[in-house]
């Protein structure tokens, strides 16, 4: 698992480890056997300035998830029994976890095991779940077209990235049409006339070009996602 999006995760990870709410640290300390008194810091809503900060640390989650020792867990439970604010937070976090656990599942049909065992050692392309366009065909047939096609994709990607940067990461419809028209000129070159987007992608993947482009493109998608999710 790698990717630029994880850098952001890592930054937050540091935040969490050092700046988690006081209860979380207190409970974590307790989980580590450092004593019960800090756990009780928020008992009676006595944390200065903040009332009883909701518990959001890994100690509380570990308690909810059954990942604490019996002794540490009992201490958290004791605190929760005495602190309505934390108990409310714990209930919400518990429901959140339960709902994820209860998401629908998919069980393959009765023929699935047979399908897999039939495919073992079978070179039949139907047994390859990779949904990329057939690999190799275009390179064998049209090496010149292939090289040109890769160039087209690289230009298109670069173009999208540049425009994405200036537009705050989100392409407008008119920008997309502009890129599309640029692409259309390039793809209308005689040798490329029959090359569709799927085949271009397959070529890029084949030549490992995607690896070079993807981090920047992922950034673009992430920016777009953030904009939509906000």
Read off the tokens for 182.
Answer: 């640029």
- Give the C-alpha separation, 186 to 155, whole Å: 10
> How many residues line the site for other proteins (CB under 8 A)?
86
Q: Taking CB under 8 A as the criterion, which residues in 98-117 touch other proteins?
A: 98-109, 112-113, 115-117
Which region among 6-14, 40-48, 71-79, 135-143 touches other proteins (by CB under 8 A)? Answer: 6-14
Check binding of 91 to other proteins (CB under 8 A). Answer: yes
Distance of CA 27 to the CA centre of its chain: 29
* Residue 186 beta carbon to other proteins: minimum distance, rounded to whole angstroms: 10
Read off the tokens for 196.
Answer: 């569709």
Asked whether 143 and 207 are in contact (CB, 8 A), the reply is no
Asked whether 24 and 93 are in contact (CB, 8 A), the reply is no
Check binding of 1 to other proteins (CB under 8 A). Answer: yes
Candidate list 48, 49, 123, 131; residue touching other proteins; CB under 8 A: 131
Q: Taking CB under 8 A as the criterion, which residues in 161-190 touch other proteins?
A: 171, 173, 176-177, 179-181, 183-184, 187
- Give the C-alpha separation, 224 to 220, whole Å: 6
Q: 112 or 147, CB closer to other proteins?
A: 112
CB neighbour list of residue 24: distance below 8 Å, 6 or more residues apart: 55, 56, 57, 58, 59, 60
Q: Taking CB under 8 A as the criterion, which residues in 26-85 touch other proteins?
A: 56-58, 61-62, 65, 67, 84
- Give the C-alpha separation, 183 to 112, whole Å: 42
* Residue 210 beta carbon to other proteins: minimum distance, rounded to whole angstroms: 6
* Residue 84 beta carbon to other proteins: minimum distance, rounded to whole angstroms: 5
Q: 37 or 194, CB closer to other proteins?
A: 194
């Amino acid at each position: 698992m790698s990717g630029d999006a994880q850098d952001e995760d890592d930054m937050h990870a540091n935040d969490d480890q050092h700046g988690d709410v006081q209860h979380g640290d207190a409970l974590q300390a307790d989980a580590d056997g450092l004593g019960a008194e800090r756990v009780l810091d928020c008992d009676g809503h006595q944390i200065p300035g903040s009332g009883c900060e909701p518990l959001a640390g890994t100690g509380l989650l570990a308690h909810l998830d059954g990942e604490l020792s019996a002794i540490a867990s009992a201490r958290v439970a004791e605190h929760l029994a005495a602190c309505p604010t934390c108990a409310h937070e714990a209930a919400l976090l518990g429901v959140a976890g339960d709902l994820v656990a209860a998401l629908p599942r998919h069980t393959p049909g009765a023929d699935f095991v047979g399908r897999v065992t039939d495919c073992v050692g079978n070179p039949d392309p139907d047994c390859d779940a990779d949904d990329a366009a057939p690999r190799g065909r275009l390179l064998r047939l049209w090496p010149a077209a292939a090289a040109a096609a890769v160039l087209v994709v690289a230009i298109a990607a670069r173009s999208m990235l540049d425009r994405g940067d200036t537009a705050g990461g989100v392409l407008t419809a008119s920008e997309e049409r502009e890129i599309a028209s640029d692409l259309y000129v390039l793809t209308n070159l005689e040798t490329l006339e029959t090359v569709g987007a799927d085949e271009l992608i397959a070529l890029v993947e084949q030549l490992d070009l995607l690896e070079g482009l993807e981090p920047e493109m992922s950034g673009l998608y992430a920016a777009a996602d953030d904009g939509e999710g906000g």
